Structure 1
C-alpha cells in the first residue's frame, strides 16, 4: 500500500478529508450530515464527529485508543492533514490492534473541496510521470469524516460498511461484483473494491484463474490431458459410487423436504430451486437433526447443465469470499464429475471422492496447485477444478 505517498505532502492528505462529503449512492443534490459544518477545530462539534466515526469504525474493525494529539507516534511519518489545512477541522488516530496498524481519521469542513484537492493532486502526480499514482492509495469516504488505514486488510473490513474508496486515477477500474458510486467531483469514483499491489485487497473476480497458459502441460496433470471425471446414470448409481466415501448406505433420502434441510454445521451449495442450478435430481446422505444434532450431511446431484451449476456455484462462492477472502467453515464444497456433483464440508469425505476422480470447483482468485495435484479448466471463467485444498492437502 502506498499511503505514505499520500501522507508525503500536505496537499495529498488534505485531499483525504474532502472525500467525506460524498453521499451514499452519489447523490450530489445535498451533502450528508456534517458536510457543511464550519465549526473551528477542537470544538465539541469536531470532537463529536471523531467519536461518532470511531463508533462506526468499531462495528467493522478495531479502532482503539482514539487520540487527536498532533504528536501521536501512531500517525504516519511525514505530513498529514492538520487542523486548518485543506478544510480539515480535526485529525485523530486510533489503533487497529487486530491488524497491527492504525487508522487516521480526518474531519473536513468542505467535503467537495477535499475531493477536488485530492483529484488535482492525483492528476498532478500522474502528469509528473507517476502514471499509477492513486490506484492503490486507500482513501475511504464516510459520512462526515474520511479515514485512511495504514493496513490494507483494515480497508477490506471497513468497506463492508458504507465507507467507500475514492479513486481519481482514470485508469482505476471497478471489477465485476463491486459497487461504483459517484463522488462530489467529476472524474472520480467511489467503490467498495480495495485495490492493492500485494494481493491483500479485495478479490478481483474478473482476473482469469484458468491454468492453461499455452504450455504443453498444465500444472498438476499429465501431458496427455485430463484423467477424466466420474459419471453416473442416476442418483442410485451415484449413491453406489460414493458409498464408501459418504454416509449414504443407511441414511439416504430423496424426499424434497429432507433434501432441503441444512443446519448451522452443514450448509449446502445448492439452495432454492435446484432446477435453477441445472440440477435434475437431488438426494441427501447423513442424519438430519432429530433426537440428536444433524451429522454427516452431504448432498448428491445429477446434473443436466453443468455450466449453469458451476456459474451459480461460482457466484455463491464469490459472495462468501468477498467479506474476508475465506469460505465459511460450515459451507460445503462442490465436487463435480461429468454429469454429477457432491456437496460436503468433510475433508475426509472429499479425500475419498478425489480418489474417485471428483474435482473441487475453486473460484478463489490467485489459486494454484503444486505439482502432483490435478488442476484443470472449469466450465466457467475464473474457476478451476482441482483435488488440492491448501487447508487440507492430501498426504
Structure 2
C-alpha cells in the first residue's frame, strides 16, 4: 500500500469534480440530506479532540468506526512500507495501525508533539508532490487531525464516519475548495484548510451540495426546463473577459509559461496532443484562441493545451458534441487517447489531455463536456445538462 493511496488517493475525478453533459446523459442529481455531512445526523463532537496516548486515540476512533488490534510494531505488515510519517519525522512521537474490520481496511494513527509542525510537514509533502508533476496530489486527502493526533483511514466509509467526529480533514492542495454546506476552518499553517468534506474518487464520499439547481432555488429561480440549462445561466462557472485573463486564470493548472496566439503555432497538433477544435476556430464560436506548451522543434512537442475565449458557447458545444459523436462512432465507441478533452466555463474553454491539469481545472469551476450517450456523473459530483442547437 503506497502513501499516495493512504494520504491522497489520486483519481480521474476531484473534490468539486464538475461534469457537464451534452444531450443524452442523465444525471443523478438529488437533493442532499440535511446535515453538513450529508447523512442528516447532528455532529456529536465539537472542538479538536486530544489524546494522551495512542490507546486514547484508539478509543476515540472506536466511538465512530472500527479500530481493532492496535499495533506500534514497525514491522507490522499493515503499515505502508513507504510511509514517510515515522516517529521522529513530522513531529510524530508515536505511530500505530489498527484494523478496520467493519469496512475491511486499515487506519493509521499518529501522535504528535507539535501539531503545527506536523501540518507544515504535510503541506511540504503535498507541495513537493505537486512540483514533481502530481498536480492533483492531496485533493482526496483522508488525513484527519485533532489537537495532538492524526488519523488516516484507508476506506471511504470510515472517513465518512470520522467526518462526523471532532476531527477535521487537512487539505493543502491549493486548488481544493470546500463545497457549501460543509465546515471550512483555517489550518495551523497558511494556505491549508480543515473541513468535514470527504472527497473520494469512488463516489462514496460526501455529497456535493453546491449544485447549480440548489443555488438557483436559493436565489428564487424557477425550475429549469427539461431540455437543460443555457450555458450563460450556469452558476459559478469560470469566466474571463479576454484570452489574457483566461491564461492568468489557468496558469497554475497548466503551467502556461510558453504561450502563443500565432495562428500557425496554434494550429499545430502532434501524435501526442490532438486538439478538440479542428479547422477554423471562428466557426466554433471562438473569438480568441491560444496554445500553452512547446510545439516541437529540437524536442518533441510536449505539454500542449489550447485556450479558447468563447463568444458563442451554444455553437461551441454543438460543434464539440458533433466532433465527439463522430469520433466515437469511427473509433469503436472511444475517443482517441491523445485527443484533448474539452473543459468549459461560462465563456471560456480549455482543451487538454493531461489528467493532472483537468483535476486543477475542475477546482477552478470548469466542467468536462462529455457527449457520450448515457453518460452520468457519480453521486456527489456536479452534473449539468446543457442546451445545444443539436439537442432533441
Q: Same fold (TM over 0.5)?
A: no
Given the two structures, how large is their TM-score scaled by the length of structure 2?
Answer: 0.43
Given the two structures, how large is their TM-score scaled by the length of structure 1?
Answer: 0.43
